[in-house]
């Protein structure tokens, strides 16, 4: 159970199981030597031991103090583990809890949280129209959903840190169970450049009813879009290799001015973690070097690379609204689905999520997860860059705190600094992604598990 079903049956026991599942994951990713936890593997990332104690501190703030009014367990931790007070690059200089201390703190918080949870009435967790802040936090188990998703989001961040780490592998590699370059499902070769048509019309974007949706996904609103085509699959490594072979990284005409400046400054010639060995392209994945599998969605490209590739292909990136319509809009019922395939929680047949495998799966491998318009692998595999900046929907109201979304929106007269990504990656837990889920990052970022999908206007050839 995860996500929608957890929220729907949000009894204390179901929530305790969800909290426990997230914790197993966090402890698994930090079951490492002390040096690996304390070291900064990249200036882009926190030391892993910071993420670990931050997870506990966030849980203490929301599931203990906000619900019960109890005082801080360890005064001073809030400042150290406030993500807004300290850049990731500076976090090694803080008086961090050591690994053993951090684990002890997490266990202490969790034991108290479970006591509070056990004392709640299932009625208090039903979706409702609570008036005071505590009632609103409990309605639909919103605050529990927030903390569970937060821990899984940090677990994905920790995976990005482990991908940046150098040295021999520390993670098991579950593998795909088949050769990555042998085509789609069971060797069935699909046309990885196929497109699907999304007819013109209105659809419902965002949500006003999903209890675990973040404030930035709200409220639901109608959006009318002209007809457009969108890729049936995310762009593959095969297509990215063709872009490279055609000189795409060296052709200034394909890049925006900012993108070209960044490409030149950083000397970009291929996705992050790729290397060329004679005629063979390889990639490094969690410390293992392997040939680039042609049929997997490309990952570790920044927004500027995605934009240049799209221009090279005679396409463009989809807007955020186009992406969501292609993912969720059901033309038969007129409503938007929680997931492309419907409202039931994801299984491994639908989507490659939750680190079942430490990589995207070949395109064509998840036909059961197709959306009503026929787009596949929209949820899972790789986050997909969209053309859109991160801005609030009309009617947005920050809840329960401004620092989740609002502080990232453009300031007045300031262009959007962040680009929206949609759909989650292979590393994303099912509870932390849905058709309406919005992620965002700087257009230069490549360490995240992000790729893209192409689109074009329907009247353009
Ligand atoms: Fe956080």
Query: Which CATH number goes with the domain that contains 99?
Result: 1.20.120.450
Q: Average pLDDT of 388-408?
A: 95
Is the domain of 279 the same as that of 239? yes
Does 336 belong to an annotated binding site? no
Ligand 1 centroid to 58 CA: how many Å? 7
As given in the structure block, the two tokens for residue 410 are 């453009």
- The string of pLDDT tens digits covering residues 38-76 is 999 999 999 999 999 999 999 999 999 999 999 999 999
User: For the chain, what is the domain count?
Assistant: 2
For residue 201, the tally of other CB atoms under 10 A from its CB is 14
Quick one: which H or E segment has residue 154?
helix 142-164
Does 446 belong to an annotated binding site? no
Does 86 belong to an annotated binding site? no
Does 329 belong to an annotated binding site? no
Quick one: which H or E segment has residue 304?
helix 303-312
Q: For residue 179, is pLDDT > 60?
A: no
| Omega of the bond leading into 400 within 30 degrees of 0 (cis) | yes
- Asked whether residue 278 is domain-assigned, the answer is yes
Residue pair 376/367 in contact (Cβ under 8 Å)? The answer is: yes
Q: Is 320 left (phi over 0), alpha (psi -120 to 50) or beta?
A: alpha
Tell if the pTM clears 0.85, that is, is over it.
yes
Out of 185-194, 253-262, 332-341, 427-436, least confident range = 185-194
Task: Identify the bridge partners of residue 379 per DSSP, sorted by sequence position.
Answer: none
Which pLDDT score, from 0 to 100, does residue 60 have? 98
Sheet containing strand 383-389, strands side by side? 439-441, 419-422, 383-389, 450-452
Q: Average pLDDT of 400-417?
A: 88
User: What end-to-end distance do the CA atoms of the chain give, in Å?
Assistant: 44
Residue pair 265/304 in contact (Cβ under 8 Å)? The answer is: no
- Which is nearest to 63 in space by CA: 123, 4, 132, 150? 150
Sequence-distant (≥ 6) Cβ neighbours of residue 21 within 8 angstroms: none
- The string of pLDDT tens digits covering residues 123-144 is 888 887 678 999 999 999 999 9
Which pLDDT score, from 0 to 100, does residue 389 have? 96
Ligand 1 centroid to 437 CA: how many Å? 17
Q: Which of 141, 164, 187 is the last residue of a domain?
A: 164
Does 23 belong to an annotated binding site? no
- Asked whether residue 117 is domain-assigned, the answer is yes
- Asked whether residue 33 is domain-assigned, the answer is yes
Ligand 1 centroid to 231 CA: how many Å? 33
- DSSP helix/strand/coil, 46: coil
- DSSP helix/strand/coil, 371: coil
Ligand 1 centroid to 81 CA: how many Å? 9
Q: For residue 186, is pLDDT > 80?
A: no
Ligand 1 centroid to 156 CA: how many Å? 11
- Asked whether residue 159 is domain-assigned, the answer is yes
- Asked whether residue 170 is domain-assigned, the answer is no
Grade residue 122 by pLDDT with cuts at 50, 70 and 90.
confident
Does 91 belong to an annotated binding site? yes
- Which is nearest to 60 in space by CA: 48, 49, 71? 71
Is the domain of 183 the same as that of 313? yes
Does 381 belong to an annotated binding site? no
Q: Which residue has the tokens 């419902």?
A: 204
Ligand 1 centroid to 181 CA: how many Å? 36
> In 283-332, which residue ranges form alpha helices assigned H by DSSP?
303-312, 320-328
Q: For residue 182, is pLDDT > 60?
A: no
Ligand 1 centroid to 44 CA: how many Å? 15
Does 338 belong to an annotated binding site? no
Ligand 1 centroid to 83 CA: how many Å? 6
- Which is nearest to 338 in space by CA: 429, 437, 229, 221? 437
Ligand 1 centroid to 144 CA: how many Å? 14
Query: Which CATH number goes with the domain that contains 242?
Result: 3.90.1580.10
- Asked whether residue 433 is domain-assigned, the answer is yes
Domain region containing 56: 3-164
Q: Average pLDDT of 79-103?
A: 89
Is the domain of 270 the same as that of 130? no
């Amino acid at each position: 159970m995860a996500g929608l079903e957890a929220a729907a049956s949000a009894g204390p026991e179901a929530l305790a199981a969800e909290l426990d599942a997230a914790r197993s994951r966090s402890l698994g990713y930090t079951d490492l030597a002390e040096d690996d936890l304390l070291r900064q593997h990249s200036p882009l990332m926190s030391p892993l031991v910071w993420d670990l104690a931050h997870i506990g501190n966030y849980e203490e703030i929301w599931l203990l103090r906000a619900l019960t009014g109890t005082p801080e367990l360890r005064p001073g931790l809030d400042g150290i583990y406030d993500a807004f007070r300290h850049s990731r690059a500076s976090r090694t200089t803080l008086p961090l809890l050591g690994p053993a201390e951090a684990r002890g703190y997490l266990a202490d918080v969790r034991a108290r949280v479970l006591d509070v949870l056990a004392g709640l009435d299932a009625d208090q967790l039903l979706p409702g129209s609570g008036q005071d802040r505590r009632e609103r936090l409990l309605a639909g188990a919103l605050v529990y959903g927030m903390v569970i998703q937060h821990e899984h989001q940090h677990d994905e961040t920790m995976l990005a840190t482990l991908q940046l780490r150098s040295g021999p592998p520390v993670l098991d590699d579950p593998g795909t169970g088949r050769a990555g370059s042998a085509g789609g499902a069971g060797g069935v070769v699909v046309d990885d450049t196929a497109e699907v048509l999304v007819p013109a019309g209105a659809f419902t974007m965002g949500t006003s009813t999903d209890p675990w949706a973040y404030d930035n996904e709200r409220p639901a609103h109608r959006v009318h879009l002209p007809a457009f085509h969108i890729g049936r699959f995310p762009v593959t490594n095969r297509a990215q290799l063709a872009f490279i072979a055609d000189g795409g990284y060296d052709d200034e005409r394909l890049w925006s001015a900012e993108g070209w400046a960044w490409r030149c400054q950083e000397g970009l010639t291929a996705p992050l973690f790729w290397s060329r060995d004679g005629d063979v392209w390889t990639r490094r994945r969690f410390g293992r070097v392997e040939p680039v599998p042609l049929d997997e969605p490309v990952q570790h490209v920044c927004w500027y690379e995605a934009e240049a590739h799209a221009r090279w292909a005679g396409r463009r990136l989809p807007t955020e609204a186009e992406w969501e319509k292609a993912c969720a809009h059901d033309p038969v019922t007129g409503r938007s689905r929680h997931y492309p395939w419907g409202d039931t929680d994801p299984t491994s047949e639908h989507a490659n999520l939750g680190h079942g495998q430490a990589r995207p799966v070949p395109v064509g491998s998840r036909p059961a997860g197709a959306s009503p318009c026929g787009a596949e692998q929209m949820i899972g595999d790789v986050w997909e860059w969209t053309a859109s900046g991160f801005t609030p929907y009309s009617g947005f109201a920050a809840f329960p705190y401004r620092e989740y979304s609002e502080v990232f929106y453009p300031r007045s007269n300031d262009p959007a600094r962040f680009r929206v990504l949609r759909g989650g990656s292979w590393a994303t837990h099912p509870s932390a992604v849905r058709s309406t889920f919005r992620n965002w990052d700087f257009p230069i970022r490549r360490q995240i598990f992000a790729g893209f999908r192409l689109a074009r206007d329907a009247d353009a050839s």
